[in-house]
């Protein structure tokens, strides 16, 4: 399989974690987001949204959107399972993951931050925006897992929730968010980040890391 991504992309990070957890070999193709390489015609032919990640399967099928890719991986390579079998737990895990992937990450990603700069906002204002989005969203995520057992977001093994949490916590730290008060999130982030699959998927471990 071939994964089109970028070392700092949170969405590509999620898919890398899943691939490493499943023990699946894959080739990486980097598209430098800050240089706009994701909008090149040859990549738009693969993913018309001009977003990463895209996963090209062995038969040439293209999958897009990180959560959809992870769900496909879980359905076709079920061990270890990332989405619970129990309907209630499955809904809780998906809700947590979607809170990050749909409500936090898109509002502070590079595309939005560039648009704010083009709109005349200064860098300090833009950074404060990203910091506030992360702080508000992750504070809600802390409450979502307040009554769950650890060490991961939803119990004894990592799920789709942890695949979304770890990259977002990295973003929060990068924007200077004080994460110390979120004891459940900090514990889950630490537990997941200690696993070899998460370490192999980390931005600093990628061939295009800067």
* Predicted pLDDT at 88: 98
- 140 within 8 A of 183, measured Cβ to Cβ: no
* Predicted pLDDT at 60: 98
* Predicted pLDDT at 54: 98
Give me the CATH code for the 2-80 domain, please. 3.40.30.10
pLDDT digits (tens, 9 = 90+) for 147-166: 999 999 999 999 999 999 99
- What lies within 8 Å, CB to CB, of 85 at 6+ separation is none
- The first and second tokens of residue 182, run together, are 């979120």
Instruction: Reply yes or no on domain 87-197 having CATH 1.20.1050.10.
Output: yes
- What lies within 8 Å, CB to CB, of 69 at 6+ separation is 15, 18, 53, 55, 63
Q: What sign has the CA pseudo-torsion 103, 107, 110, 111?
A: positive
Domain borders along the chain are 2-80, 87-197
Q: How far apart are the first and last CA of the chain?
A: 24
């Amino acid at each position: 399989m071939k994964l089109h991504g970028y070392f700092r992309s949170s969405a590509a990070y999620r898919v890398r974690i899943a691939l490493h957890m499943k023990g699946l070999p894959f080739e990486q193709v980097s598209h430098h987001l800050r240089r706009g390489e994701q909008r090149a015609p040859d990549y738009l032919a693969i993913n018309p949204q001009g977003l990463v990640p895209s996963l090209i399967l062995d038969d040439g099928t293209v999958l897009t959107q990180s959560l959809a890719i992870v769900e496909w991986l879980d359905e076709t390579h079920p061990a270890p399972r990332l989405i619970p079998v129990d309907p209630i737990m499955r809904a809780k895990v998906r809700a947590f993951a979607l809170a990050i992937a749909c409500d936090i990450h898109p509002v502070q990603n590079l595309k939005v931050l560039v648009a704010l700069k083009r709109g005349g906002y200064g860098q300090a204002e833009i950074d404060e925006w990203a910091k506030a989005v992360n702080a508000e969203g992750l504070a809600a995520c802390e409450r979502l897992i307040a009554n769950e057992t650890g060490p991961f977001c939803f119990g004894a093994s990592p799920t789709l929730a942890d695949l979304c949490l770890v990259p977002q916590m990295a973003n929060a730290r990068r924007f200077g968010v004080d994460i110390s008060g979120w004891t459940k999130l900090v514990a889950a982030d630490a537990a997941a980040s200690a696993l070899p699959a998460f370490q192999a998927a980390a931005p600093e471990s990628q061939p295009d890391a800067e």
